[in-house]
């Protein structure tokens, strides 16, 4: 009798709870998940807890040091540094929070498909992927952003496209490990279409690797988004953004260092939190992140 995949699997809710419990059981995972959750809550409820409006300017407090009125001081326009820092991650989390799943979905499906097809078409695809990956990411994105603008309607698909390309390699490598198994060969022998094989046999077995890869892509995408804002191609003033805040305040560090240090600490803590969570997630799912993708 042909081998099947009729194993009893826990429901999505039960499995999600088990994975979260496994992550929280690890000290690094608990720290990472707490940092990420804290930033997400701050992005949602930040406007209700900040002491000042992020656009409010007061000439009397320009480049002021931390005080009772402004706990982290004020920037060169007299705007409260604490309020702008607390709100500085909203745009980055929104844009990358949409772009990351898009990157994982399209890159994962393409990688799975070509991992299943294999042959010459697979080799041609990988050479195209290698060509894209050989170019500096900042140059590729700047070309599109300068051409089409820097609004969220441009940033989201741009980030999703370029960060989905490396996902192709991960999905393809994971698919190659699954395609050789008996239940995939049995599905082929039964005459199942490629779409059915991908949906029923490959996706459930590649999903965990894509989840871990998506978590890592999110941290890199956040850094890329902040870098673009720092260079003036991301968020436009007066919207608060950590990268833009660092760019604006770097010339005034000797007068008001918190204008640079506060957004740097927030951005670093979020990226560290995502990386710690991704590492714990990989261990919880039994994914070996050190495994190299085949070329």
* Digit-coded pLDDT (tens) for 194-219: 788 888 888 888 999 999 999 999 99
Please give the average per-residue pLDDT across 212-227, as a whole number.
Answer: 93
pLDDT tens by residue, 122-161? 888 888 888 888 888 888 888 888 888 778 888 999 999 9
pLDDT tens by residue, 231-281? 888 888 888 999 999 999 998 988 889 999 999 999 999 999 999 999 999
Q: Is residue 61 part of a domain?
A: no
Query: In angstroms, rounded to a whole number, what is the distance separating the alpha carbons of residues 132 and 295?
Result: 14
CA atoms in the 13 A half-sphere facing the CB of 277: 23
Q: How far apart are the first and last CA of the chain?
A: 35
Q: Please, which pLDDT band fits residue 16 given cuts at 50, 70 and 90?
A: confident
Any residues with CB less than 8 A from the CB of 129 and at least 6 apart, and which? 165, 166, 168, 169
Number of domains in the chain: 1
CA atoms in the 13 A half-sphere facing the CB of 212: 22
Q: Is residue 130 part of a domain?
A: yes
Domain with 235, as residue range(s), is 15-52+73-285
- Report the share of the chain in percent with pLDDT over 70: 94
- DSSP code of residue 294: P
Q: Is residue 262 part of a domain?
A: yes
CATH number where 82 lies = 1.10.3720.10
- Report the share of the chain in percent with pLDDT over 90: 56
Is a pLDDT exceeding 50 seen at residue 105? yes
Give the global pTM.
0.88
Any residues with CB less than 8 A from the CB of 134 and at least 6 apart, and which? none
Q: Which residue has the tokens 């990351």?
A: 100
Q: Is residue 127 part of a domain?
A: yes
Q: Is residue 6 part of a domain?
A: no
């Amino acid at each position: 009798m042909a081998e099947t995949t009729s194993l009893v699997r826990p429901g999505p809710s039960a499995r999600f709870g088990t994975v979260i419990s496994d992550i929280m059981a690890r000290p690094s995972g608990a720290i990472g998940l707490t940092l990420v959750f804290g930033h997400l809550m701050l992005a949602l409820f930040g406007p209700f807890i900040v002491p000042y409006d992020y656009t409010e300017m007061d000439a009397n407090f320009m480049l002021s040091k931390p005080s009772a009125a402004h706990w982290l001081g004020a920037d060169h326009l007299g705007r409260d540094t604490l309020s702008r820092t607390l709100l500085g991650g909203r745009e980055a989390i929104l844009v990358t929070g949409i772009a990351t799943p898009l990157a994982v979905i399209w890159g994962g499906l393409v990688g799975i498909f070509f991992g299943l097809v294999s042959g010459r078409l697979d080799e041609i695809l990988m050479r195209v992927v290698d060509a894209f990956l050989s170019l500096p990411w900042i140059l590729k994105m700047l070309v599109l952003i300068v051409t089409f603008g820097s609004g969220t309607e441009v940033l989201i698909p741009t980030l999703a496209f370029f960060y989905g390309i490396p996902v192709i390699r991960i999905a393809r490598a994971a698919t190659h490990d699954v395609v050789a198994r008996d239940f995939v060969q049995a599905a082929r022998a039964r005459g199942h279409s490629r779409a059915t094989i991908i949906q029923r046999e490959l996706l459930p077995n590649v999903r965990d690797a894509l989840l871990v890869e998506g978590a890592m892509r999110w941290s890199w995408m956040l850094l890329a988004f902040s870098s673009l804002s720092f260079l003036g191609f991301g968020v436009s003033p007066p919207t608060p953004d950590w990268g833009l805040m660092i760019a604006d305040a770097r010339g005034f560090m000797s007068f008001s260092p918190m204008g640079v240090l506060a957004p740097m600490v927030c951005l670093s803590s979020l990226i560290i939190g995502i990386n710690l969570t991704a590492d714990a997630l990989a261990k919880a799912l039994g994914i070996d992140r050190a495994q190299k993708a085949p070329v």
